[in-house]
Amino acid sequence: MLTILNAAKRVLVGRPFRNDRLAHTLLPKRIALPIFASDALSSVAYAPDEILLTLALAGVSAVAISPLVGLAVMVVLLTVVASYRQNVHAYPSGGGDYEIANVNLGKFAGLTVAAALLVDYVLTVAVSMSSAAAYLTTAIPSLHGQQALIATVGVVVLALVNLRGIKEAGSVFAVPTYIFMFSILGMTAVGIFQAATGQLGQAPSGAFTIVPQEGFDQGLVGLAGAFLLLRAFSSGAAALTGVEAISNGVPNFKKPKSKNAATTLLLLGVIASAMLAGIIYLANATKVHIVLDPAKEFLLHGQPLPDDYIQNPAISQIAQTIFGAGSIPFYVVVAATGVILVFASNTAFNGFPVLGSILAQDGYLPRQLRTRGDRLAFSNGVLALAAGALVLIISFNADVTKLIQLYIVGVFISFTMSQLGMVRHWGRELKLAQDKAVRRRIVKSRTINMLGFAMTALVLTIVLITKFEQGAWIALLAMFVLFLIMWSIRAHYDNVAKELAVDEDSSPRALPTRVHAVLLVSHVRKPVLRALAYARASRPSRLDAIIVDIDHEETAHTVEAWDKLDIPVPLTVLASPYRETVTPILDYVKNMRRDSPRDLIVVYIPEYVVGKWWEQLVHNQTALRIKARLHFEPGVMVASVPWQLKSSEEAKALQDT
């Protein structure tokens, strides 16, 4: 009993909840919005930056068309939101895109969507945390260069919060998410007022001249310019990530679940579009410029900037322009943006474990992912997501620009296949429907999903073409590997089920020829005598006691004590010239199996039950090694006979109080 670990778990996670508390963890819309929509809402913190950064490759003139790119992203966002409102009504079970593709397009398509979503959830956490770290260094420049460490700490903290339960996490995240929404919309309103009255100033980077990259000296002209424009659009499409999380989280909503989820989706679409439009408009109006390498791509009065120049994100520059650097509103906007980027990862922490649980139920992932933990959250899924995100953050040093190239590929694969699946779903429903009103509703829903399919398929094509060499191939490779792993796990479970299926040979009436019991002896003490009593009570056909001769003097003392008690069971001494314990026992058991292959062999092992964590380190280690090896021997069973030490009784009494 590892009491110190249990105590630490109680402090970090809290007391376990009963199963009947599950209904109390369901979410009203006001809390569901910040939990499930924080990812999409927070995308306004980095999607505009990626649009501006990509267009900047062609110089200042190209940056001026950023509002058109943003408008295209908004159209796709609203279309996808409308499409997913149909999804949550048709499939409210929480399977989301995976369930839709699996039911309507087949297992291959369903597993492809599952792999894409799982990878995208991991990238959501990595990108959001890395971007949050970048905003923190904006407010505290002395932390510049520590983004990877900051993001790592953020992932660990967020994982711990989610291990305490979904509703508790939602209560923590609700207020900061609403502060972020109102601060961005408020800043937009003030900025528009200043622009209308001629008071809007120029961003800190507005005076910089951008040095175009080779091939873009003439701006966005020719095939290269068109390709760059599409690349900027695909980067801005990161604003759509997180929309699918609501369809995966429908079971977490209060009743009526589908209606509340659809309403939350509508709120998400309207608010995210308004925020994205406001940021891109103000970035263009204040002439915010963002480049990949400021020291090489920026010029001020014809001279390059110093190497230690720190480039701030778009929202930070806009807030500084509108409110002034160091003002309270400036710090509110920057702090709220940094916090929401941390909380945006919570969308993935809710979506990934639920999807993992569904896949585990279907046999595609280890079954440990399908069970809820102490606080009724899918704890193993939370830990798996955190581990994957930490690997990416450390591998890419929390570089948002590098990570975002891997991003959104997975989510648009799931978008596209899910919408195609919904088109097929409505086609089946239309054939069965007789009522005219019902048929009109189905036709309307199918039309929306057809439009969603066409648009997401187009965006997916653009993303694959423009981002493949920049890093999208890594995400595709990860999806392919994950697909193979899940397929292999399902094949393994299927094979095990066939292997373990009951047949004529495994009839409950079939009995072994004889039962041969073997008692392991180290010393003649109470635990050994109890194990001997249990072994004799089972009435085996034969009972042997064996001791491994590691120390001749000690072995002789044990044999003498055994004979002195006049125990009616022979004690066999196994030679061990190399002072091994496990190998002589294995050889003895194998010889018994060789002589009587139809016999069942039961090995009785006395074990101590301890109460202190450190006692586990000094007891039972040999027994664990023996059991681990014997488990691979056919026809051999291991029976552990416990002996409770005094410390275990004290620990039990402490637990009962």
Determine the average pLDDT of the residues in 383-391.
89
Name residue 549's beta-bridge partners: 575
- Which tokens in the block code for residue 73? 């992203």
- Which tokens in the block code for residue 515? 């039962």
* Amino acid, single-letter form, for residue 401: T
CA 311/CA 320 separation, integer angstroms: 13
Element (H, E) at 246: helix 243-248
- Please report, in angstroms and rounded to a whole number, the separation of the first and last CA atoms in the chain: 16
Determine the average pLDDT of the residues in 331-356.
81
Domains and CATH numbers, the chain: 3-16+24-494 (1.20.1740.10), 508-656 (3.40.50)
CB contact at 8 A, 177 and 340: yes
46 φ/ψ angles, rounded to the nearest 5 degrees? -130, -25
In sequence order, the 6+-apart residues with CB closer than 8 A to the CB of 395 are none
CA 644/CA 656 separation, integer angstroms: 16
| Residues above pLDDT 70, as percent of the chain | 86
The residue among 452 and 11 whose pLDDT is bigger is: 452
Determine the average pLDDT of the residues in 462-480.
85
Question: For residues 346, 401, 473 and 36, what is the CA-based torsion angle, rounded to 10 degrees?
Answer: 20
Residue 200, pLDDT score: 92
**pLDDT range class, residue 5, cuts 50, 70, 90:** very low
Determine the average pLDDT of the residues in 456-485.
87
The 10s digit of each residue's pLDDT in 521-570 is 988 888 889 999 999 998 898 999 999 988 888 899 999 999 898 888 99
The upper half-sphere exposure of residue 477, i.e. CA atoms within 13 Å in the direction of its Cβ, equals 7
CB contact at 8 A, 489 and 517: no
Residue 20, pLDDT score: 47
The 10s digit of each residue's pLDDT in 230-285 is 888 888 887 787 777 777 778 778 888 888 888 888 998 899 899 999 999 999 99
Determine the average pLDDT of the residues in 170-197.
87
pLDDT score of 12 more than 90: no
Determine the average pLDDT of the residues in 389-417.
83
Residue 19, pLDDT score: 43
574 φ/ψ angles, rounded to the nearest 5 degrees? -100, 125
The upper half-sphere exposure of residue 124, i.e. CA atoms within 13 Å in the direction of its Cβ, equals 35
Residue 37, pLDDT score: 73
Residue 421, pLDDT score: 92
What are the DSSP calls for 82-106, one per residue?
HHHHHHHHH-TTS-HHHHHHHHHH-
The residue among 70 and 248 whose pLDDT is bigger is: 70
Determine the average pLDDT of the residues in 325-347.
83
The 10s digit of each residue's pLDDT in 593-620 is 888 888 889 999 988 777 666 666 666 6
Element (H, E) at 455: helix 436-467
pLDDT score of 190 more than 90: yes
Report the interhelical angle of 166-196 vs 257-285 (nearest 10°).
40
CB contact at 8 A, 258 and 85: no
The residue among 612 and 117 whose pLDDT is bigger is: 117
Q: ∠ CA 185-186-190 to the nearest 5 degrees?
A: 120
Give the burial class of 614: count Cβ atoms within 10 A of its Cβ; 0-12 exposed, 13-18 middle, 19 or more buried. exposed
Residue 654, pLDDT score: 52
Mean pLDDT score of the chain: 82
